[in-house]
């Protein structure tokens, strides 16, 4: 107990200074700006901020990145409610009841509900992280080469099979990410791979040009494709008195809040899931469990509570496997993992032993960032609403310029800018054929870990055989889970394809009649 108190005090000592607090607030503002403007994404925001964070030391960099993460998830509710277009996929379900409330003249109430429950969801994620992480880290100390290899394979299977909805495209995206991560010198023996005699490829690809290309440049190309259409004008008037709802309404939605928090945490912990999924699952569950499901979609408080609680609770859930096992829970935490690795920090069980002060500093950042988000978004609402009127064709070039400068400054190599451009062009065509980016990014980050643990595991295996890995119960458990996830993904995809086919046949028959 004394050790925990000491670590908490050290965490506060690391953060409670003007520079760190300012960077945390700047991160929340910057993330909220990207979150509230449709077309700008949290991943794009992190891609722009990453090179800035590399100029800072560890704790200030984490202040900036955690602030962006919290602000980016929460900011999407503004446009989702006021104009019916989610600023981020994490707020898709918020539009279902948020915008109908605007049409009923309850814009202020809808915004107040969204802001308040975003705050509560973030707090639940923080509390879960602080209580569950040490236990999970203790379990993670039992992991060796065999176990980490199996965990990486399981993570890639989950994100490529379940998340994408199309296992072939998911696996294809994962394969691309694995191939890109293998360019350069191999770990352990430093053999050259996929360099094709090009000297600049010996160092391999960096994460930053990859993210700049696939998120920022792809977004610019999509904006250009829209032929310079202006942003959506906000015509809804809004006035917020307090947070717009009564204590009675809070009590009526208490179980909805608890259930949605647990859904957000659980989905956040699963590798590759994230807030993009948790808000929809929580909304669907709230509707199915409601005494008046027919009211959902007409503008009721319950739908906003479910969506905004779940997507913010996912933050703590996604950071949990990142810190304890070194596995990112979603796309943004994958980018944060890349930032930690730049600083020479390897997240995992040993981080709780060797860098416990940094772990507790991240806990406190989530706690303080939740309050910063509540105050900043609530007080700066008029500013964020004005941003919705900025034409995307004016905004996107500025974002690309900043991202390109960041890609160059990482290694001070012009080739990184060209690499980012090449990835952007490739990403645009991938998006046209609906190949998801998330499995590729996660695979790009996890493949080195998987490969190193496989090769080292084979070195220490008694018979130098892969079958020796099955001597570990944890490895065997993860491999069984991997097979089950694959079977389920194939079965689910087949089921949906048959259902779509039956629906098509029915439509054809009706047209013939």
pLDDT given at position 17: 87
- CA 122 – CA 11 distance, rounded (Å): 19
- Phi and psi at residue 193, to the nearest 5°: -135, 135
- Phi and psi at residue 184, to the nearest 5°: 115, -150
- CA 166 – CA 163 distance, rounded (Å): 8
pLDDT given at position 231: 46
For 459-475, the three-class secondary structure string (H helix, E strand, C coil) is HHCCCCCHHHHHHCHHH
Query: Which residues does 77 contact at the CB level (< 8 Å), separation at least 6?
Result: 87, 91, 94, 98, 111, 114, 115, 118, 304, 308
- CA 435 – CA 374 distance, rounded (Å): 36
pLDDT given at position 169: 82
- CA 45 – CA 47 distance, rounded (Å): 5
Query: Which residue, among 163, 164, 180, 217, has the nearest Cα to 443 in the 3D structure?
Result: 180
Q: Residue 437 corresponds to which tokens in the numbers above?
A: 């980016």
pLDDT given at position 511: 38
CB 94 within 8 A of CB 77: yes
Q: Which residues of the chain are under the pLDDT cut of 50?
A: 228, 230-235, 505-513
pLDDT given at position 161: 64
Residues 30-81 pLDDT 10s: 888 887 776 567 777 887 888 788 788 888 888 999 999 888 888 888 878 8
Q: Residue 169 corresponds to which tokens in the numbers above?
A: 């495209």
Query: Which residue, among 214, 444, 202, has the nearest Cα to 337 in the 3D structure?
Result: 444
Tell me the β-bridge partners of 192: 185
Complete DSSP assignment for 465-508: -GGGGGGSHHHHHHHHHHHHHHHHHHHHHHHHHHHHHHHHHHHH
Packing angle of the helix pair 473-512, 167-181 (nearest 10 deg): 130
CB 448 within 8 A of CB 241: no
pLDDT given at position 22: 93
pLDDT given at position 235: 45
- CA 391 – CA 393 distance, rounded (Å): 5
Q: What is the greatest pairwise CA distance in the chain?
A: 78
pLDDT given at position 25: 92
pLDDT given at position 508: 40
The HSE-up count of residue 18 (CA atoms within 13 Å, CB side) is 0
The single-letter DSSP state of residue 160 is I
Q: Residue 134 corresponds to which tokens in the numbers above?
A: 């040490």
């Amino acid at each position: 107990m004394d050790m925990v108190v000491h670590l908490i005090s050290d965490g506060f000592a690391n953060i409670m200074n003007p520079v760190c607090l300012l960077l945390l607030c700047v991160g929340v503002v910057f993330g909220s700006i990207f979150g509230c403007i449709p077309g700008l994404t949290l991943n794009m925001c992190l891609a722009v901020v990453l090179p800035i964070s590399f100029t800072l030391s560890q704790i200030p960099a984490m202040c900036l990145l955690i602030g962006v993460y919290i602000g980016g998830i929460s900011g999407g509710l503004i446009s989702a409610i006021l104009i019916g277009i989610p600023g981020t996929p994490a707020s898709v379900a918020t539009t279902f009841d948020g915008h109908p409330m605007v049409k009923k003249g309850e814009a202020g109430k809808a915004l107040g509900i969204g802001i308040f429950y975003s705050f509560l969801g973030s707090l639940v994620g923080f509390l879960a992280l602080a209580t569950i992480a040490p236990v999970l880290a203790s379990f993670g100390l039992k992991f060796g080469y065999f176990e980490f290899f199996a965990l990486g394979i399981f993570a890639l299977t989950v994100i490529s099979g379940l998340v994408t909805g199309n296992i072939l495209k998911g696996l294809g995206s994962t394969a691309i990410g694995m191939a890109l991560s293998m360019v350069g010198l191999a770990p352990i023996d430093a053999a050259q791979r996929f360099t094709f005699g090009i000297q600049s490829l010996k160092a391999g690809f960096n994460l930053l040009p990859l993210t700049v290309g696939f998120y920022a440049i792809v977004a610019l190309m999509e904006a250009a494709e829209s032929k310079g259409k202006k942003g959506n004008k906000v015509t809804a008037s809004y006035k917020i008195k307090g947070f717009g709802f009564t204590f009675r309404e809070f009590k009526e939605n208490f179980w909805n809040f608890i259930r949605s928090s647990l859904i957000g945490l659980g989905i956040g912990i699963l590798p590759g899931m994230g807030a993009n999924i948790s808000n929809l699952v929580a909304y669907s569950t709230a509707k199915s469990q409601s005494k008046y499901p027919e009211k959902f979609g007409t503008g009721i408080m319950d739908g906003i509570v479910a969506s905004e609680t779940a997507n913010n609770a996912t933050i703590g859930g996604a950071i949990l496997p990142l810190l304890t096992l070194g596995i990112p829970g979603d796309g943004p935490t994958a980018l944060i993992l890349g930032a930690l690795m730049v600083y020479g920090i390897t997240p995992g069980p040993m981080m709780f032993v060797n860098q416990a002060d940094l772990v507790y500093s991240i806990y406190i950042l989530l706690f303080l960032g939740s309050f910063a988000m509540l105050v900043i978004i609530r007080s700066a609402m008029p500013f964020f609403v004005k941003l919705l009127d900025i034409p995307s064709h004016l905004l996107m070039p500025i974002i690309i310029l900043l991202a390109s400068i960041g890609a160059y400054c990482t290694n001070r190599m012009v080739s990184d800018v060209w690499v980012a451009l090449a990835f952007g062009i490739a990403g645009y065509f991938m998006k046209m054929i609906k190949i998801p980016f998330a499995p590729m990014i996660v695979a790009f980050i996890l493949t080195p870990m998987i490969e190193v643990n496989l090769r080292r595991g084979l070195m220490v295996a008694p018979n130098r055989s892969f079958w020796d890995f099955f001597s570990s119960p944890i490895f065997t458990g993860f491999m069984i889970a991997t097979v089950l996830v694959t079977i389920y993904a194939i079965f689910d995809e087949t089921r949906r394809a048959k259902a779509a086919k039956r629906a098509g046949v029915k439509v054809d028959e009706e047209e013939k009649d």
